[in-house]
A and B are shown apart, each in its own frame.
Chain A
Amino acid sequence: MTTSVGHFTEAMVEVASTQLYMLKGGTGRPLIVLHGVEGHEGWLAFHEALAEHAAVYAPAHPGYGQTVRPTWMETIAHQAVFYHWFLQEASLQGVDLVGVGVGGWIAAQMAVMCQANLRHLVLVDAAGVRPRQGEVVDLFIIPWREVIERSLSDAENCAEALRIYTATPLQEFGGVREAGRSMSMRMCYRPYMYDPALLPTLGKIRLPTLVVWGAQDQIIPIDCGHLYQQAIPGATLRVIDRCGHWPHFEQPEALAEIIHEFIAR
Chain B
Amino acid sequence: MPKTNYYYFTEQPYTGYDPALQEQYPALRLNLPNTNYDPQIASDLYNRYHDEYQVADDVGFDGIMINEHHTAPFCMQASINITGTVLAKITRRGKILMLGNPLPVVDNPLRLAEELAMIDCISRGRLISGFVRGGGVESLVNNVNPVYNRERFEEAHDLIVAAWTRPGPFRWDGKHFQYRVVNPWALPLQKPHPPIMVPGTASPETVVWAAKHRYPYVVLGSSLEQTKELIAIYHETAKEEGYEMKPEHIGYLIRVFVADSEAKAQAEGHNFFWQKGALNKQIREWMAPPGYATVDVAGIRRLRAISKAFDNQAYQEAQDNYQLILGTPDQVITKLRHVRDLLGVGHMCLWAHDGYMTHEDTVRCIELMGKEVLPALRDA
Taking Cβ atoms with an 8 Å cutoff, the residues of A that contact B are: 140-144, 172-174, 178, 181-186, 189-190
Contact = CB atoms under 8 A, between A and B. Distances in A.
7 contacts: A140-B289, A140-B290, A141-B286, A143-B285, A182-B290, A185-B146, A189-B143
B140 interface: yes
B283 interface: yes
B296 interface: yes
Contact of B295 (A142, A178, A190): A178
Contact of A140 (B144, B285, B295, B296): B285
Contacts of A143: 283-285
A151 to B, nearest CB: 15
B291 A185 contact: yes
Interface string B131-153: 00000000010011111000000
Contact of A174 (B30, B283, B295): B295
A185 B140 CA distance: 11
Interface of B: 30, 140, 143-147, 283-286, 288-291, 293, 295-296
Nearest to A189: B145
Contact of B30 (A141, A173, A182): A141
Contact of B296 (A142, A174, A184, A185): A174
Contacts of B145: 185-186, 189-190
Given A142-B283, A143-B283, 18 more contacts: A140-B140, A140-B289, A141-B30, A142-B285, A143-B284, A172-B284, A173-B284, A173-B293, A173-B295, A174-B296, A182-B147, A182-B290, A182-B291, A185-B289, A185-B290, A186-B145, A186-B291, A189-B147
A85 to B, nearest CB: 23
A186 B286 CA distance: 16
Interface SS of chain B: helix, strand, loop or mixed? loop
Contacts of A174: 295-296
Contacts of A182: 147, 290-291
A196 to B, nearest CB: 16
Centre residue among A142, A183, A189 by max chain B CB count within 10 A: A189
A130 to B, nearest CB: 15
Closest 10 CB pairs of A and B: A182-B291, A181-B290, A182-B290, A189-B145, A174-B295, A186-B147, A173-B295, A185-B291, A185-B147, A185-B290
A144 B145 CA distance: 18
Nearest to B290: A181
A193 B289 CA distance: 17
A181 B284 contact: no
A190 B285 contact: no
Contacts of A189: 143, 145-147
A143 B146 CA distance: 16
Centre residue among B140, B290, B296 by max chain A CB count within 10 A: B290
Contacts of B140: 140-141
Contacts of B296: 174
Nearest to B144: A190
Contacts of B289: 140-141, 185
Contact of B291 (A144, A172, A181): A181
A81 to B, nearest CB: 19
A189 B139 CA distance: 11
Contacts of A142: 283, 285
Centre residue among B30, B140, B285, B296 by max chain A CB count within 10 A: B285
Contacts of A181: 290-291
B290 A178 contact: yes
A107 to B, nearest CB: 23
Contacts of A178: 290, 295
Nearest to A192: B143
Contacts of B288: 173
Nearest to B147: A186
Contacts of B283: 142-143
Nearest to B283: A143
A205 B2 CA distance: 71
A185 B148 CA distance: 10
Nearest to B300: A173
Contacts of A141: 30, 140, 285-286, 289
A181 B140 CA distance: 15
A45 to B, nearest CB: 27
Contacts of A173: 284, 288, 293, 295
A63 to B, nearest CB: 10
B5 to A, nearest CB: 37
B148 to A, nearest CB: 8
Contacts of A183: 291
Contacts of B147: 182, 185-186, 189
B331 to A, nearest CB: 40
B288 to A, nearest CB: 8
B359 to A, nearest CB: 37
B146 to A, nearest CB: 6
A144 B146 contact: no
Contacts of B144: 190
A137 to B, nearest CB: 13
B58 to A, nearest CB: 44
Contacts of B295: 173-174, 178
A37 to B, nearest CB: 10
A1 B291 CA distance: 30
A189 B143 CA distance: 8
A184 B146 CA distance: 11
A142 B289 CA distance: 10
A189 B289 CA distance: 11
B287 to A, nearest CB: 11
A174 B290 CA distance: 9
A190 B145 CA distance: 7
A181 B291 CA distance: 8
A144 B288 CA distance: 13
A183 B143 CA distance: 16
A36 to B, nearest CB: 15
